[in-house]
Structure 1
Amino acid sequence: MAQATSNDSSAELAAVKADLHQLKTDMAALVAALKDSGSKRVSAAEETTLEAVHEAIASLNSRFETLKSKAGAQAKDALDEAEQTVTRHPLATVVAAFGIGFVLAKLFDTGSRH
């Protein structure tokens, strides 16, 4: 009977060892699957982020081009208006330019007279 109990214990120990080996194998496969799944999720997140960055850049470029056109149009309008003012009032423009030049010359005069 002692022999039967010893054989039963050995059989149970062998079964436990086999179960542990199978558990180690299953755990290794699970870790590998999780790692692969995580890599795929990170890759998908990188793609999504990259797409969002490209969309933001495209949107900013579009807004920049729109603002650049508006600024160019406003500058042209201001230049046209200045030309019209000079054309309508040439004497006043010359006097104003002379006055502004005189004031600036006095402001920047360093007093370097001999």
Structure 2
Amino acid sequence: MSEATALGTHRNELSSDIEALKSDMASLRKDFSGIASNLGQQAKERAAAVKETVQDSVQTSISSAESCVQRRPLTSVVVAFGVGVIVSKLLKR
């Protein structure tokens, strides 16, 4: 009977260990889910910040180009024509 008692004790310990392992795994799953959610939110915030920076930069460039065209309209037309000629020659090849 002592073997049966020892076997029962080991079985109970093993069952207890398995339950503890299940609990730990559930806790880890929650932690990883929270971390993934947090990383996703940080990525979203950074993307929004980059988008805003790019939009500001583009708007500044557009304003600068408009100002240059207004100050020297004839030069702007000549430059645009030259760029068009170069692009058309490159596209023909």
- The TM-score bracket by the shorter chain reads over 0.9
Match of 1:81 in 2: 64
User: Out of 18, 40, 48, which is 1:35 matched to?
Assistant: 18
Match of 1:59 in 2: 42
Highest CA radius of gyration, 1 or 2?
A: 1
CA RMSD of aligned residues (A): 1.1
Cα-to-partner distance string for 1:49-92 (whole Å, 9 max, x where unaligned): 11111111111111111111011111111111111111111000
Higher relative contact order (CA 8 A, sep 6+): 2
What TM-score results when the alignment is normalised by the length of structure 2?
0.92
Percent identical across equivalent pairs? 17
Separation (CA, whole Å) in 1 of partners of 2:61 and 2:9:
77
Separation (CA, whole Å) in 2 of partners of 1:21 and 1:109:
91
Match of 2:80 in 1: 97
Match of 1:48 in 2: 31
| Structure 2: gaps (5+ residues) | none
Separation (CA, whole Å) in 2 of partners of 1:82 and 1:105:
23
What TM-score results when the alignment is normalised by the length of structure 1?
0.76
Separation (CA, whole Å) in 2 of partners of 1:73 and 1:53:
30
| Structure 1: gaps (5+ residues) | 1-17
